[in-house]
Amino acid sequence: MAATDREMNPESEKLQFRLDVPFPSPRDAAIALGSLSPDREPRKGGIDKQLTVTDRTLTVRWSAEEARILRVSVDSFLDNLSLVLETMQMFAPPASQ
């Protein structure tokens, strides 16, 4: 199905969105990645999302065919990211605070 998508709608024709989130340390970025990467996108069609960590930055790249599908995914990711950040701030072990 991915192959057909590319023939019909090559990557260059899709909407691309990138988000970079800096963290205080590489470990913090890795924790965020660990929390945010396991769940699959609810609507399998029309959206692709990749999460990576480089040093202490979490990078998220989206590629979508339609703006509204992109908006929903980015919106919900930002809500989830906020929750993870708040959890990290409130419950980090005393040593690292």
Partner 1 sequence: MTIVIGFEGSANKIGIGIIRDGEVLSNPRRTYITPPGQGFLPSDTARHHRAVILTVLKEALEQAGLKPADIDCVAFTKGPGMGSPLVTVALVARTVAQLWEKPLLGVNHCIGHIEMGRLITQADNPTVLYVSGGNTQVIAYSERRYRIFGETIDIAVGNCLDRFARVIKISNDPSPGYNIEQMAKKGSQYVELPYTVKGMDVSFSGITSYIEEAAHKMISSGQCSAEDLCFSLQETVFSMLVEITERAMAHCGSGEVLIVGGVGCNLRLQEMMGVMCKERNAKLFATDERFCIDNGAMIAQAGWEMFRSGQVTELEDSWITQRYRTDEVEVTWRD
What residues line the site for partner 1 (CB under 8 A)?
Answer: 30-32, 34-40, 42, 76, 79-80, 83-84, 86-88, 90-93
DSSP E strands, the chain: 15-22, 47-54, 57-64
- What contacts 9, CB < 8 A, 6 or more positions away? 65
Minimum gap (Å) between residue 68 Cβ and partner 1: 15
Q: Amino acid identity of 13?
A: E
Minimum gap (Å) between residue 61 Cβ and partner 1: 19
Q: Which is nearer to partner 1, 19 or 30 (CB)?
A: 30
Minimum gap (Å) between residue 16 Cβ and partner 1: 24
What is the greatest pairwise CA distance in the chain? Answer: 53
Q: Which is nearer to partner 1, 20 or 86 (CB)?
A: 86
β-strand partners of 47:
64
Q: Amino acid identity of 72?
A: V
Q: Which is nearer to partner 1, 4 or 97 (CB)?
A: 97
